[in-house]
């Protein structure tokens, strides 16, 4: 019996939470059989749509849907200059849609095609934030009360550029840029946040923090050492990707586990992070590295190399991408933790079957493939938004006016 063939590729952009989610639907010659994939690159969604519609879709008509690896390699090499977040996101949309089709044909969820569950559900962490340390810990307490055992803490500081927490305009009057973000204030305040968190939340909750790439390697070592008494589960993105080759010296300076990788848009770069001795938890953005197939390769590499996984998944991963992360989480011995996002009700309307978080665990749909549907009419009621990230990123500057890695 020959496999069905691909008859068409359609691309949708929907922004129900103000974040541009790019969804790919691959249709097949078998009536009613189609697959859904996540090609989300919120900040450059239109480039991904063009790559898919103009360059990728014409290569797929008539292709056998079972040839996931061959199609992925063909698409990867077909542009000659390959990789990067735009082309990888396009590739991810196709890759995930073909895995969805494979699951539907087998009548099995994708995690069963990857070897089956090693765990019943994936423990997740959620984000607690506030303008002050007090507000951040109020938020964290409410998450712990809801059953979370892992919480990321971010707090505000003078200026607009605080990551993951509200900013305060005019923090540095008289400076060239009065709304600036000051690294020295950040380095002094962050240990105070975690000291207060251990006081208030006790020892039974795991604490996480995201630096968002803003430190020099030496500053990162200083912060990691200052945070040692508070037993962080991980410290994320301490340096910018331009300085990843300096990660081993940061990691050698402190036992605080380092989580790195969401800005990696190359599976081979991610592999070098795993083997390079600078990372304890790899946390790639699954669409930016090309989808489930490369994600699975990296999970296997992590398993063999003693590195854990913590796939990136805030609001700029669609429920389809979240389902792909969960398929890896449930099946990989390298699993460390999963970043969680509580999708708004409107997202569940657009994507029936969206994974849910209950009592600190993300539960996968048990339906075939991703176990998800996509309501095109509901999605069309939430058109894409332009420039939101750029408007914020432009405000992230030092008090002297110099732009900061956002």
Return the residue nearest Mg ion (CB atom). Answer: 210
Kindly tell me which of 210 and 280 has the beta carbon lying closer to Mg ion: 210
Kindly tell me which of 285 and 296 has the beta carbon lying closer to Mg ion: 285
Residue 210 lies near Mg ion (rule: CB under 5 A): yes
Number of residues that bind Mg ion (CB under 5 A): 1
Are 273 and 323 contacting, i.e. CB atoms less than 8 angstroms apart?
Answer: no
Largest Cα–Cα distance in the chain?
Answer: 75
Are β-strands 361-363 and 356-358 bridged in parallel, bridged antiparallel, or unpaired?
A: antiparallel
Helix (H, G, I), strand (E, B) or coil at 10: strand
Give which of 182, 186, 155, 187 is closest to 171, Cα–Cα: 182
**Minimum distance of Mg ion from residue 281's CB (angstroms):** 12
Write b or e for each residue in 253-281: b if 16 or more Cβ atoms lie within 10 A of its Cβ, otherwise e.
bbebbbbbbbbbbbbebbbebbeeebbbb
Give which of 385, 394, 29, 405 is closest to 238, Cα–Cα: 405
Are 301 and 245 contacting, i.e. CB atoms less than 8 angstroms apart?
Answer: no
Whether 186 is catalytic is no
Restricted to residues 239-268, the positions that interact with Mg ion (CB under 5 A) are none
Annotated catalytic residue, options 139, 212, 296, 382: 212
Kindly tell me which of 34 and 311 has the beta carbon lying closer to Mg ion: 311
The interface region with Mg ion, picked from 42-50, 155-163, 205-213, 326-334 by CB under 5 A, is: 205-213
Kindly tell me which of 100 and 210 has the beta carbon lying closer to Mg ion: 210
Residues with Cβ within 8 Å of 55's Cβ and at least 6 positions away in sequence, in order, are: 78, 79, 90
Restricted to residues 117-136, the positions that interact with Mg ion (CB under 5 A) are none
**Minimum distance of Mg ion from residue 69's CB (angstroms):** 30
Between CA 291 and CA 305 the distance in angstroms is 21
CA dihedral 53, 57, 58, 64 (to 10 degrees): -170
Kindly tell me which of 52 and 258 has the beta carbon lying closer to Mg ion: 258
**Minimum distance of Mg ion from residue 336's CB (angstroms):** 14
Annotated catalytic residue, options 163, 177, 186, 343: 163
DSSP per position, 88-136: HHHHHHHHHHHHHHHHHHHTSBHHHHTT--SSSSEEEEEEEEESSHHHH
Kindly tell me which of 163 and 351 has the beta carbon lying closer to Mg ion: 163
Between CA 280 and CA 231 the distance in angstroms is 14
Residue 339 lies near Mg ion (rule: CB under 5 A): no
**Minimum distance of Mg ion from residue 260's CB (angstroms):** 9
The interface region with Mg ion, picked from 36-44, 88-96, 209-217, 377-385 by CB under 5 A, is: 209-217
Burial class from Cβ neighbours inside 10 Å (0-12, 13-18, 19+) for residue 366 reads: exposed
Per the listing, tokens 């409107």 go with 346
Burial class from Cβ neighbours inside 10 Å (0-12, 13-18, 19+) for residue 391 reads: exposed
The interface region with Mg ion, picked from 109-117, 204-212, 265-273, 386-394 by CB under 5 A, is: 204-212
Binding mask 161-200 for Mg ion (x = CB under 5 A): ----------------------------------------
The interface region with Mg ion, picked from 65-73, 101-109, 175-183, 207-215 by CB under 5 A, is: 207-215
Whether 212 is catalytic is yes
The interface region with Mg ion, picked from 1-9, 189-197, 206-214, 335-343 by CB under 5 A, is: 206-214
Tokens in use for 98?
């073909």
Kindly tell me which of 206 and 210 has the beta carbon lying closer to Mg ion: 210
**Minimum distance of Mg ion from residue 207's CB (angstroms):** 15
**Minimum distance of Mg ion from residue 153's CB (angstroms):** 13
**Minimum distance of Mg ion from residue 183's CB (angstroms):** 17
Are 159 and 134 contacting, i.e. CB atoms less than 8 angstroms apart?
Answer: no
Mind telling me the catalytic residues? Answer: 163, 212
What does the binding site for Mg ion look like in residue numbers (CB under 5 A)? 210
């Amino acid at each position: 019996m020959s496999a069905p063939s691909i008859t068409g590729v359609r691309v949708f952009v929907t922004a129900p939470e103000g974040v541009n989610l790019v969804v790919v639907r691959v249709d097949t010659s078998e009536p009613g059989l189609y697959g859904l994939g996540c090609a989300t690159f919120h900040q450059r969604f239109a480039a991904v749509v063009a790559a898919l519609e103009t360059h990728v879709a014409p290569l797929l008509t008539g292709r056998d849907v079972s040839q996931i690896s061959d199609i992925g390699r063909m698409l990867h090499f077909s542009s000659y200059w390959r990789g990067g977040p735009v082309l990888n996101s396009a590739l991810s949309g196709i890759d995930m849609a073909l895995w969805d089709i494979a699951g539907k044909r087998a009548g099995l969820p994708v995690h069963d095609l990857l070897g089956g569950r090693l765990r019943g559900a994936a423990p997740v962490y959620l984000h607690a934030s506030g303008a002050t340390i007090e507000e951040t810990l109020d938020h964290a307490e409410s998450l712990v009360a809801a059953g979370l055992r892992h919480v990321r803490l971010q707090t505000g500081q003078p200026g607009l550029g605080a990551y993951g927490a509200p900013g305060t305009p005019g923090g540095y009057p008289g400076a060239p840029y009065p709304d600036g973000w000051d690294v020295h204030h950040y380095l002094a305040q962050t240990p105070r946040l975690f000291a207060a968190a251990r006081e208030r939340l006790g020892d039974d909750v795991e604490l996480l923090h995201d630096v968002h790439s803003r430190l020099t390697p030496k500053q990162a070592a200083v912060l990691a050492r200052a945070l040692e008494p508070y037993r962080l589960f991980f410290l994320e993105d301490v340096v910018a990707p331009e300085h990843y080759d300096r990660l081993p010296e940061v990691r050698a300076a402190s036992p605080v586990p380092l989580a790195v990788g969401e800005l990696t848009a190359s599976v081979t770069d991610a592999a070098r992070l795993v083997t390079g001795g600078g990372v304890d938890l790899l946390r790639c953005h699954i669409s930016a590295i090309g989808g489930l197939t490369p994600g699975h390769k990296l999970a296997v590499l992590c398993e063999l190399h003693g590195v854990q996984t913590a796939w990136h998944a805030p609001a700029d991963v669609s429920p389809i991408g979240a389902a792909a992360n969960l398929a890896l989480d449930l099946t990989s011995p390298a699993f460390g933790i999963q970043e969680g996002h509580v999708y708004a009700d409107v997202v569940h309307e657009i994507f029936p079957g969206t994974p849910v978080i209950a009592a600190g665990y993300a539960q996968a749909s048990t339906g075939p493939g991703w176990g998800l549907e996509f309501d095109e009419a509901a999605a069309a009621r939430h058109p894409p938004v332009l420039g939101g990230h750029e408007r914020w990123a432009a405000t992230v500057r030092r008090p002297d006016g110099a732009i900061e890695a956002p």
